[in-house]
Structure 1
Amino acid sequence: MDRIAVLIPCFNEERTIRKVVTDFKKTLPDAAVYVYDNNSNDRTAAVARDAGAIVRKETLQGKGNVIRRMFREVDAECYIMADGDDTYPAEAAIEMVKRVLEDQADMVVGDRLSSTYFDENKRHFHNFGNALVRKSINKLFKSNIRDIMTGYRAFSYQFVKTFPVLSKGFEIETEMSIHAIDKNMNVANVVVEYRDRPDGSSSKLNTFSDGAKVIRTIVSLFETYKPRAFFSGIALVLFLLAAVFFIPIFINYRKTGLVPNFPTLIVCGFTVIAGLQSFFSGIILHTLRKKDRQDFEKDLIRCQERYTELTKRNERN
């Protein structure tokens, strides 16, 4: 078990990976630096190995798949996750590690948005998307995470070993944030400087397609983690639609005693039934979510026992 493990997922980062590895080894000399190559078609793996990193490979394409592999294979008291594009300063890791090891934070968010991100990042739609996602999630989940989509984070052993990775791509950061909020984990924010990619290094993100994936992920996770609110919202929309079409029919019936639009009345009835089904589905799923939270707490206790066992073994060695 490592004391500190630096995890760097990489895809075609030959231009910057040497500096990233060197900076982290200098800043955290006792840390193990892992570079996971995700089918790069350049010399990323060779350069990282030459710089002193432990290089491993993940053949399933996508950042989420790489992080799943990392979290399964690496045991450490504190994890630092960073990108291989040299956009984050390694020096900030010292404070992030301190928050995990001394302050018992489960996840530390490297907050770019409160520093230089909007000045350094020249992709304006990315800037807008990051701000929108932050406001949406903090509003929906009643949280205060200052940078939802940052790739620079620190984690505790308990977070890494109990986090179910479902996303395959860049939406993984959003999933991490919502998981930490939902499970009432200790989340800290550390402001970090952000610098844009150096010349010759290109982003793998597509503003629109990856942005659409993130939005779908938010909706899906809101349905999963907040089923009562999600399905009650659908039920409310259905009830309002039924009311809009039913009220004119009812007024006409009070005046004339006739129902000229009988098919519309039938549709209104089925719409109300669908709304009731949606409402009670949300109640049932909310009850199941409470049971899931109880099971998670039990898993957390078992994870803590495993962590204690590993740290004692480290001390003996």
Structure 2
Amino acid sequence: MYLDENLGRTYILDKLAILIPCYNEGKTIRKVVTDCLASCKGIPNTSVYVYDNNSTDNTVSEAKIAGAIVRHEFQQGKGNVIRRMFRDINAESYIMIDGDDTYPADEIPAMVNEVLEKNVDMVVGDRLSSSYFEENKRPFHNIGNVVVRKSINFFFKNDIKDIMTGYRAFSYQFVKSYPVLSQGFEIETEMSILAIENNMHIENHVIEYRDRPADSFSKLNTYSDGLKVLRRIISLFKDYRPLHFFGLISLLLILIAAGLFFPNVWIPYLHTGLVPKMPTLVVCGFLLITGIILFSSGLILDSIVKKEKREFEFRLIQIHNSFEDQIR
């Protein structure tokens, strides 16, 4: 509990919760926690939470020594850890940062200020506009980040500069309204698209990136996790933009049907009055019917998505009221 002197209110929740998902980060976690606490001395009632995800090294003991509150999530996967953190922790603002010491903790006050003073729902720590491509020694990670960003820019038309960053600030409303569905490293992509599609306030904050220390190793598999992210983007495009998704497939099938029908069926029929390729006519008919069904499905699903967006707005109001109830 703390008193906000500027607003004259007493809060029963943290002013700032720093959330650090961890799996075998014993080499760096003590420094990350120490840096976070040092950078937030001017923010009252700040807590650092390290959520251990079945680490087999000294991550837990190092985090405790540094002054973090250590909790556990036994279901493996970064998405599962974030789901647990978002359920457990109540705070006015949140910082999510990785435990690998690749992000500068001294940017926390500026990112939190965006949330507290400007009512931003998600502040994205943008590595790609600064030092990421010089610091990161894994070229396929660089390519993957660019591909993911361009894919989401193409499908969802947004201005997020760094989709895969693990350094973000969140509002209470975002954390409590976000339904975590991904289990692994696709989680950053999922939360970015949810914020875009629900018209939440997003800001980019350029940060300096530094590569992992030499004796620290990434748990991200460039190829398998990269494919999971791309599959997730396509799946979310289908879920959030069903009319576009099914409309494109419908248009493709109708174009194929037309390409087969006119030269093989229609033109010979005009000249001879006969249909020389009956199987082609049948295939064209099936393609046309399938295209119409898919387009109709897209229209129906689009109406459902719009209804869900309206319901999401009502949930935000309920979450806001719940937040106000925690203020005495």
Q: How does 1:157-168 map to 2 (within 5 A)?
A: 157-168=172-183
1:199 to 204, 214, 217: 214
Aligned position for 1:208: 223
TM-score, normalising length: structure 2? 0.94
The runs of at least 4 aligned residues of structure 1 exceeding 2 Å deviation read none
Whole-Å separation in 1 of the counterparts to 2:185 and 2:113:
27
How much identity, in percent, do the aligned residues show? 61
Whole-Å separation in 2 of the counterparts to 1:252 and 1:206:
55
2:58 to 39, 43, 66: 43
Aligned position for 1:270: 286
CA RMSD of aligned residues (A): 0.7
What amino acid is the match of 2:148? Answer: V
Aligned length: 312
Whether 2:108 is the aligned partner of 1:93: answer: yes
1:20 to 32, 37, 42: 32
Aligned position for 1:140: 155
Aligned position for 2:314: 298
Whole-Å separation in 2 of the counterparts to 1:37 and 1:176:
21
- Kindly state the Cα deviation for residue 149 of structure 1 after the two structures are TM-superposed: 0.6
1:116 to 131, 137, 143: 131
Whether 2:179 is the aligned partner of 1:179: answer: no
- Kindly state the Cα deviation for residue 139 of structure 1 after the two structures are TM-superposed: 2.0
TM-score, normalising length: structure 1? 0.97
What amino acid is the match of 1:15? Answer: K
Whole-Å separation in 2 of the counterparts to 1:49 and 1:69:
19
1:208-254 deviations in whole A, cap 9, x for unaligned?
Answer: 10000000000000000001111100101110111111111111111
- Kindly state the Cα deviation for residue 295 of structure 1 after the two structures are TM-superposed: 0.6
What amino acid is the match of 1:305? Answer: N
- Kindly state the Cα deviation for residue 262 of structure 1 after the two structures are TM-superposed: 0.4
Whether 2:53 is the aligned partner of 1:53: answer: no
Whole-Å separation in 2 of the counterparts to 1:250 and 1:141:
39
1:191-213 deviations in whole A, cap 9, x for unaligned?
Answer: 00000000110000111100000
Whole-Å separation in 1 of the counterparts to 2:179 and 2:268:
55
Aligned position for 2:81: 66
What amino acid is the match of 2:53? Answer: N
1:133-180 deviations in whole A, cap 9, x for unaligned?
Answer: 111112211110000110000000000000000000000000010000
Unpaired runs of 5+ in structure 2?
Answer: 1-12
What amino acid is the match of 1:122? Answer: K
What amino acid is the match of 2:309? Answer: R
Whether 2:25 is the aligned partner of 1:10: answer: no
1:230-285 deviations in whole A, cap 9, x for unaligned?
Answer: 11001011101111111111111111112121011101101100000000100000
Secondary structure of the equivalent of 2:118? coil
Unpaired runs of 5+ in structure 1?
Answer: none
